[in-house]
Amino acid sequence: MAQTVRRSTNRDRRSGQERLKPLPMVTRRFAAWAVEVSLVVSSGLVPFAIGIYANQPTAQQVPFNPVLAVTEEVIVRTLALPPNNNHNFVAPLTNLFWGLTLAAPLVLSSWQLYLLAKTGSTLPKRWFGVRVVNFTGSPPGMLRVLLREGVGSWGLPLSIAYLLWRYSADFPNLGLLAGLSCLMVLGEGMSARFHRQRRCLHDRLAGTYVIDANRNLTRFPGRLSGQSQPVKQETSYRWHKTEEERKVTAIIVPAAAKRRRSLFWMRQYPSTLIMVALSITILSGTLVGTQVYIQNQANQRQKEQFNSEQFLVLMRELNPDSGATLAERQRAILALGTLNNPQALQWLVNLLGQETDHTLVEPIQQALASSGTQALPYLQRLNQSLSNELESLRYNGTLQEQELGTQRLQATQQAIAKILMIYSGKLHKADLSRTNLGQTSSSIPFTLVLDKIDLSGIQLSAANLNQASLRGSSLHSVGEDGHWDTSDDEIADLSDAQIKEANLTNANLSRVLMNRTNLIRSTLNNANLSGTNLSGANLSSTHLVGANLRDAVLTNASLTGADLGEAILTRANLYAARLGRVSALGTQLQFANLSESDWQGADLSKADLSRANLDNADFSATRLTGVNLGNTKMENVNLRNADLRQADLRGANLAGADLQGAIFSASKTQADSFIQTPPDASRSALVEGVDFSKARNLDTKQLAYICTQGGSHPRCP
C-alpha cells in the first residue's frame, strides 16, 4: 500500500515538473518582441485618440503646434497621403495630447534601447527570460544596440518594403505598404531558421547573441583571444567545432595560407586603402566639377553680355528721338520679349503701364507673353499699383482720369490672361496673390476667360476674379508621382479671393484652399469640390447642382439661398454653417457633420441624411418630406413646424429634439384623442421602433401617430 502511495507521489511530482516546463526560446523571443512593439505603439495611439476626441468644433481653437505641423508634413510626404490643410487651428488639449503622441514613443523607445545596451534586456525581455549579449557575454553597448535595432531589425526591412511599395503598380495603397512592412520585419526575424546558431540577421549584423537568461553560465573560447569568456548557455547554439569540422579546417587552412599572405597588407590596413580611393575620387570629381562650373559661368557671362548689347541697341531704336517708324518700334518691342534680361522685362512692364497708343499696347502684351511666366511678378506689382491708383481716382479723379486708369489696368489684366492661357499646366509656382483680374468698370467691360485651362498650383489668394469664366478649368493636378490625392499634388490657393458671379461649371477644385472665399451668386454646377477647404466661405445664392462636395470642409460657411440639388456632401463638415432657404432636393449628406448648422426654411425633400450628425441643428419650418434620417444623431435638434411626411426616422436619436408642430402624416386626427383615421402609409413618416421618450413639445396628435405607427413613448397605451 505504501509503495502504491509513493509511486503516485512521484508521478504527481513529474507531472508538475512537466507543467512548469518553460516555453521554447523562439516563443519567448517573439513574445518579448511583440510586447515591446505593443507598448511603443500604444504609447502613441492612446494620446492620439484622446487628441482627436478633444478636438471638438465647439472647443476653443489655438494655432497648430509648429513642431507637430512639420512632423505631419513629413509623414504626409513620406506616405504619399492627401495634403491636409484643416489643422490650422485645433483645441489646446489636442495640441497637448498630439505632442505626447510624438514624445511618448520616442521616450519609451529610447528607454528600451538604453536598458538593452546597459543590461542586455528590456523589461519585456526580462519578463520572458531573454537576454542579448556580445561575443564576450557582456551587455552589447549602445553602438551595437543601435546597429541591431535601428538598422537590422527595423531600418533595413522597412526601407526595402518602402521602396517596393513606392515603385509598385499599387502605389499609393497604404494597405500594400503595411503588408510589405509586416512581411519584411517578420521575414527578417525568421532568418534565424537558416542559421546554425539560430541568429537573426540583425544579430549577425551587430555581433550579438540572444541567450536564455535563466540558464547557468558556461565557458567557451573567445573570438578575439584564446581565453575563455563566460556566457549563458543556449541549447540551440553550438559554440564548439566538432571533430569532423576540425579535420576539414586542417585541410583547408594550408591551401588558403598563400592567399591570406598575399592580401596581408590589404587586410591589415583596409581603412588606408579606402581613404586613398575616396580621396582620389573626390579630387577627380572636384577637378571635373570645377571645369564644368567655370565653363558654364563663362557661357552665362557671354550670353548676358550679348543680351545687354541687344537691349541697348533696341532701346536706342525705341527712343522717341530715334526717328523710327511705328512698324520698327513694334518689331523692337517684340524683340525685347525674346531677351532673357530682367531689365528688358521691367522696361516692357513700365511701358505697358504708361502707353496709351493701342497700336503699341498689343505688341507689348505679346512681348511679355513670349517671355513666359517670369514676367508675372513684374505684371503683378504693376497690376496692384494701378488697382490702388484707380481706387483713389474713383473718389478724387475726373471721369476721364478714371477711364484712363481703367484702360491701363485692363492692359495688365489682358497681358496676365494671355500668359495664363499660353502656359497652361506650367503655372505651379506662379504667384498672383492680391492681383485684380475681375471686372473693374461697367462702361469698359473686361471678363477674364480661362475656360478649360490648367491652373493647378497657382497662388491666387486674396485675388479679384469677379465675373471670371473658368468653365472646365483645373486647379488641381497630379504631381511627379502621377497619382491623385498624394502629397506632391499641385493645388491652387484661392483663400480670401473674390470670385463673385463667376462661372466655374465643371471646374476641378478638389482640395483647393478656399478659406473665406467670396463666391456669391457664382455657378459651380457639377464642379469637383471634394476635400476642398471652404471654411468661412460665402456661397450665398450659389448654384451647386450636382457638385461633388464629398469630405469638403464648410465650417461656419454661408450657403443661404444656395441650390444644392443632387449635390454630394457625404462626410462633409458643415458645423455651424448657415443654410437658410437652401434648395437641397435629393442631396446626399450621409455621415455629414451638420451640428449647430442653420437650415431654417430649407427644402431637403428626398435628401439622404442617414448616419449624419444633426445635434443642436435648426431645421425649423424645413421641408423634409421623403428624407432618409435613419440612424442619425438628432439630439436637441430643432424640428418645429418641419414637414416630416415620408421621412424615415428609424434608428434616429431624438433625445431633446423639439418637435412642436412637426408634421408626421397628412391624415386627419381627432383633437385630444388617440383615435384617428388610418394614415396614408405612402405619405407618412416611418417611426417604427423610434424612441420619442425624451423628445420635447409633442402634442396629442403627434403622440397618437407615434403610438399607432410603432413608435415608443411613455404615454403610449
Asked whether residue 524 is domain-assigned, the answer is no
List residues bridging with 543 in a β-sheet.
Answer: 523, 563
Asked whether residue 688 is domain-assigned, the answer is yes
> Which region among 102-111, 483-492, 524-533, 617-626 has the lowest average model confidence (pLDDT)?
483-492
CA 680/CA 675 separation, integer angstroms: 15
Express each pLDDT in 330-356 by its tens digit. 888 888 888 878 888 899 999 898 888
> Which region among 473-482, 497-506, 508-517, 678-687 has the lowest average model confidence (pLDDT)?
678-687
Cβ neighbors of 477 (< 8 A, separation 6 or more) are 425, 454, 456, 457, 489, 490
Express each pLDDT in 152-194 by its tens digit. 999 999 999 999 999 988 898 999 999 999 999 999 988 888 7
pLDDT confidence of residue 587: 97
Question: At residue 143, does pLDDT exceed 80?
Answer: yes
CA 473/CA 541 separation, integer angstroms: 22
Cβ neighbors of 323 (< 8 A, separation 6 or more) are none
pLDDT confidence of residue 446: 86
For residues 432 and 458, the answer to whether their CB atoms sit within 8 Å is: yes
Question: At residue 579, does pLDDT exceed 90?
Answer: yes
- Residue found by looking up cell 483663400 in the block: 495
Show which of 174, 203, 232 is a domain's final residue: 232
Asked whether residue 330 is domain-assigned, the answer is no
For residues 352 and 368, the answer to whether their CB atoms sit within 8 Å is: yes
Phi-psi region of 298 (alpha: psi -120 to 50; beta: other; left: phi over 0): alpha
Asked whether residue 57 is domain-assigned, the answer is yes
* 239: confidence class by pLDDT, cuts 50, 70, 90: very low
Show which of 204, 232, 260 is a domain's final residue: 232
CA distances from 428 to 92, 281, 453, 479 (A): 35, 38, 13, 10
More confident residue, 584 or 72: 584
pLDDT confidence of residue 233: 40
Q: For residue 54, give the nearest of 97, 6, 15 by alpha carbon.
A: 97
pLDDT confidence of residue 440: 75
Asked whether residue 250 is domain-assigned, the answer is no
For residues 459 and 512, the answer to whether their CB atoms sit within 8 Å is: no
Express each pLDDT in 215-236 by its tens digit. 754 444 444 333 334 444 443 4
Q: Cell triple for residue 408?
A: 491701363
Question: At residue 694, does pLDDT exceed 50?
Answer: yes
Residue 89's Cβ-count burial label (10 Å; 0-12, 13-18, 19+) is middle
Question: At residue 501, does pLDDT exceed 80?
Answer: yes
Q: What is the mean pLDDT of residues 385-405?
A: 89
- H and E: helices and strands count for the chain: 18, 8
Q: For residue 159, give the nearest of 74, 78, 104 by alpha carbon.
A: 78
Question: At residue 18, does pLDDT exceed 60?
Answer: no
DSSP assignment of 414-455: HHHHHHHHHTTT--TT-B-TT-B-S---SSS----B-TT-B-
Q: Cell triple for residue 525?
A: 454646377
Asked whether residue 487 is domain-assigned, the answer is no
pLDDT confidence of residue 670: 40
CA 136/CA 133 separation, integer angstroms: 7
* 268: confidence class by pLDDT, cuts 50, 70, 90: low
Show which of 173, 201, 232 is a domain's final residue: 232
714: domain CATH number is 2.160.20.80
List residues bridging with 449 in a β-sheet.
Answer: 469
Q: For residue 532, give the nearest of 560, 504, 500, 566 by alpha carbon.
A: 504
Asked whether residue 585 is domain-assigned, the answer is yes
Q: Cell triple for residue 33?
A: 518582441
Question: At residue 253, does pLDDT exceed 50?
Answer: no
pLDDT confidence of residue 684: 86
How many beta carbons lie within 10 A of that of residue 526, not counting itself? Answer: 17
How many beta carbons lie within 10 A of that of residue 546, not counting itself? Answer: 17
Q: Provide the domain count of the chain.
A: 2
pLDDT confidence of residue 672: 45
- Mean pLDDT, the chain, integer: 85
Domain housing 674: 547-717
Pick from 209-213, 289-293, 325-329, 517-521 the range whose average pLDDT is largest: 517-521
Asked whether residue 630 is domain-assigned, the answer is yes
Q: What is the mean pLDDT of residues 513-526?
A: 96
* 251: confidence class by pLDDT, cuts 50, 70, 90: very low
The answer to pTM > 0.85 is: no
pLDDT confidence of residue 136: 87
pLDDT confidence of residue 237: 40
Question: At residue 45, does pLDDT exceed 70?
Answer: yes
